[in-house]
Structure 1
């Protein structure tokens, strides 16, 4: 494949084409790649900052520790992304902190806070739980456990999982906050939609950089209004007080601690993350104009994410590492699916983590701008999920029921669990009262694990759709499995890193021709 490809047309299924500006193996010019890479990074900036801010608040970190934690997130994200795109599944997918493991992390902090544990002790407990959960995920991936389930997971299940990835984020504070500046959020959204959907045919700049232009334009306006004293939207004081260089080293908070019940809770969050990543792999493949990932690619992707979790635990993020949905949405909007671009963006993330000024500048982006960005990104993800249904016979009632129930259960049951956990009667107490099984379900570690799984929309919807799709009678043609097999890449299309290192060449004819 050529080093520079423009507006290539890639077949993604039996009759649909997807316009991709830069394919997975393309390498745009370095200067352009830097801007495109920064754009990928900016799409997930809300999550990259939100997770450490939530954790630092719960841990009781001071301003300096909070800045250190944010910088650590950037560095871990960049290194994990380079590892995944180079050695792992080699998809152009950004790695970073996960909300799936934020729930158990906050639960662990809550238990420790009740005993007046020091903030660094809490962090060390999180590190130990994450490292063990990561090692289990390494086994799940490289032993091929999840890949063996792939034959039972068809378009219906994937449609539910991917759609819930976007729908589950519908209530993030950057979108629904009552105090949100909707003029600024609306401007960001309008600019992104304008450049990506209406003006993209007029200039490749609009097509390639809609997020950068939209976010940058809104931020510039907010900065001008703030400097002029019209409104207080951007505060640059964190930049002035930031250190030029921020050292980020392994075990910077201390050596990890390992507690059984905490490990079990984090394990549940890891499983939810695995399900989400499985959907992400299919989503990014479709966005990039590629066939659905084969089991070998899925296994290596999850194995590398497990190693990313172990690395996150060693570095002390207090959170794990997983595939980022926002980055996938950016691929769909811009058509830039280049692995090289994502790797350049990863290098930028690492630099930002160590250079205090850059990291501080990122924290000055108003939540309203991030909210406008999220509206565009998450909507794209929901659409991609529903597009999987083109392979399914929706004239069959069983398919309509599986789809509807999976989506509804994925949105409603986690909300119920959240309400129970916030009420005076805890989930643990409720499970303990269940006849016969209460003695087991009421065990704190068991209740916590069930609470995390049942409180994760992707896990609930995905499991429900998986069970129903594989138990309700229906032919493989009706379920879309036949068409799914036709668009799944050949087993030889993905070569593990060690085979490529030894000089092995892919045998897939399309790749060979490239």
Structure 2
């Protein structure tokens, strides 16, 4: 740990095997880095597959494989950029679910109308790219001009706790967990192995403590593959592993900027996408606090938050140029830090390089796609359960005997689950606009595309709903600084001077030489 890094709180140090600035041996770092990325593989494949299906791209397997590979290339570059030049936290960057709702709305409108002379998926993807690029430019400005960081003065543990907890609860109903034809034995095997390695055998050998996720995933996958090859489970089984699709994959994928064509910009689409960007910003701020808490660091400073969001905006512009669905901080590897105690920035960077390289290899994408849903579901339960606990632990700074605090936290958690559940009744944003038209008096206003789309996207994001509810209540209901936990929070939080950007570090190093 250097003098430039945020102070440790002492709350989780005993559980940290490698701190943020530690550099494990190269071979160990590669395995640990891959493990960090494996925790988010399911989500980083789910987003492109959902988009590909909506666009009709899945009719062309080679294009779909290249589309998925592009997401991993963008993820690797975005992670390197964020951990080096951005907030410098060990957070993996990947495809955002918060921007998926407006993306699907754009795809639905374009594919329904069609574009002369272009395949449906190509036209939709070009419109999607244009919307992401323009909306992300605004995100860059919000970050680097300091607009987002100014929110920090209004954030207390009462706000951050439910926001982080809702990040963890966001996938409790994921199809990999709750699907009707779930393979509970395979999910239970994966989850049981993670628990065995990380909680019971972690004191027996260092490997169990450091690699519980990758060990569990590999063992469970081998079991599923053997059962599939021997015919014990068939092609319709949720645990089936289709090794044939790996052999049919293309060796190298041509991935480059503007590979699908020149992005197209439509104002209405940009407005809808910006709503997704706002939801992504709220989620990312929660991620920053979560990773700081779980790694034993002080709460992020305004300067660090600004640089993090600014860099996410730049990487969203890059994602639009490359032709994906955007990029944001991922919660999955934060849960991995809690399970493994590996919070090393270097490890995450090594993993990012590996993902960047293998993104060009068609066999990799197809191999990862063979990981059955039940195995991914087991990972989700372990990873996101850890994040829920991190959110709850933040409440140690507040007065839990205060009815004010318990009301705000409880209310934020409830609406953060209830509102997205209600939004789930609408398959497309157009259906939601129609409902808004029927609202008495305010119908004409609420049904406007800008307003309706913003409400729909933010309302579909649990951590955004809960975080905003807690933010408003905590800053309007009377409460002392000690009661709200701000006094203790300020004591352990880092100052702006404690966070040095990459350029500031280089300048300091050259002066010392």
Q: 1:134-166, CA deviations, whole angstroms, 9 ceiling, x for partnerless residues?
A: 111101110110111101100011101100001
Deviation at 1:492, TM superposition (A): 1.9
1:108 to 90, 106, 117: 106
2:68 corresponding residue in structure 1: 70
User: In structure 2, what is the Cα distance between the partners aligned to 1:488 and 1:107?
Assistant: 40
- The answer to whether the 8 Å contact 1:18/1:289 transfers is no
- The answer to whether the 8 Å contact 2:164/2:390 transfers is yes
Deviation at 1:500, TM superposition (A): 1.8
- The answer to whether the 8 Å contact 1:495/1:506 transfers is no
User: In structure 2, what is the Cα distance between the partners aligned to 1:110 and 1:72?
Assistant: 22
- The answer to whether the 8 Å contact 1:11/1:17 transfers is no
1:6 corresponding residue in structure 2: none
| TM-score, length of structure 1 as denominator length | 0.94
User: In structure 2, what is the Cα distance between the partners aligned to 1:205 and 1:252?
Assistant: 42
Deviation at 1:287, TM superposition (A): 1.5
2:25 corresponding residue in structure 1: 29
User: In structure 1, what is the Cα distance between the partners aligned to 2:421 and 2:232?
Assistant: 40
1:335 corresponding residue in structure 2: 341
2:359 corresponding residue in structure 1: 353
- The answer to whether the 8 Å contact 1:11/1:18 transfers is no
- Note the residue ranges of structure 2 that are not aligned, 5 or more in a row: 235-239
Deviation at 1:294, TM superposition (A): 0.6
Are the structure 2 counterparts of residues 76 and 411 from structure 1 closer, same or farther at C-alpha, using a change threshold of 3 Å? same
1:431 corresponding residue in structure 2: 436
1:169 corresponding residue in structure 2: 171
Matches within 5 A, 1:49-448: 49-61=45-57, 62-117=60-115, 118-232=120-234, 233-317=240-324, 319-419=325-425, 421-422=426-427, 426-448=431-453
| TM-score, length of structure 2 as denominator length | 0.94
Deviation at 1:171, TM superposition (A): 1.0
Q: 1:384-408, CA deviations, whole angstroms, 9 ceiling, x for partnerless residues?
A: 0010000010101000000000000
* Residue 52 (structure 2) pairs with residue 47 (structure 1): no
User: In structure 2, what is the Cα distance between the partners aligned to 1:115 and 1:506?
Assistant: 60
- The answer to whether the 8 Å contact 1:12/1:18 transfers is no
- The answer to whether the 8 Å contact 1:391/1:483 transfers is yes
- Note the residue ranges of structure 1 that are not aligned, 5 or more in a row: 3-9, 508-514
- The answer to whether the 8 Å contact 2:7/2:492 transfers is no
User: In structure 2, what is the Cα distance between the partners aligned to 1:84 and 1:505?
Assistant: 23
User: In structure 1, what is the Cα distance between the partners aligned to 2:174 and 2:315?
Assistant: 25
User: In structure 1, what is the Cα distance between the partners aligned to 2:98 and 2:326?
Assistant: 9
Are the structure 2 counterparts of residues 130 and 203 from structure 1 closer, same or farther at C-alpha, using a change threshold of 3 Å? same
Q: Secondary structure at the match of 1:48?
A: helix
Moved more, 148-157 or 233-242: 233-242
User: In structure 2, what is the Cα distance between the partners aligned to 1:162 and 1:18?
Assistant: 22
Q: 1:249-287, CA deviations, whole angstroms, 9 ceiling, x for partnerless residues?
A: 111111000011111110000000000000000111112
Deviation at 1:430, TM superposition (A): 2.8
User: In structure 2, what is the Cα distance between the partners aligned to 1:60 and 1:258?
Assistant: 21
1:451 corresponding residue in structure 2: 456
Moved more, 183-192 or 216-225: 216-225
Q: Secondary structure at the match of 2:508?
A: coil
Q: 1:399-420, CA deviations, whole angstroms, 9 ceiling, x for partnerless residues?
A: 000000000011101212222x
User: In structure 2, what is the Cα distance between the partners aligned to 1:41 and 1:425?
Assistant: 35
User: In structure 1, what is the Cα distance between the partners aligned to 2:393 and 2:451?
Assistant: 37
Are the structure 2 counterparts of residues 217 and 121 from structure 1 closer, same or farther at C-alpha, using a change threshold of 3 Å? same
1:510 corresponding residue in structure 2: none
User: In structure 1, what is the Cα distance between the partners aligned to 2:265 and 2:352?
Assistant: 31
Are the structure 2 counterparts of residues 109 and 424 from structure 1 closer, same or farther at C-alpha, using a change threshold of 3 Å? closer
Q: Secondary structure at the match of 1:145?
A: coil
Query: What number of residue pairs does the alignment pair up?
Result: 498
User: In structure 2, what is the Cα distance between the partners aligned to 1:506 and 1:454?
Assistant: 49
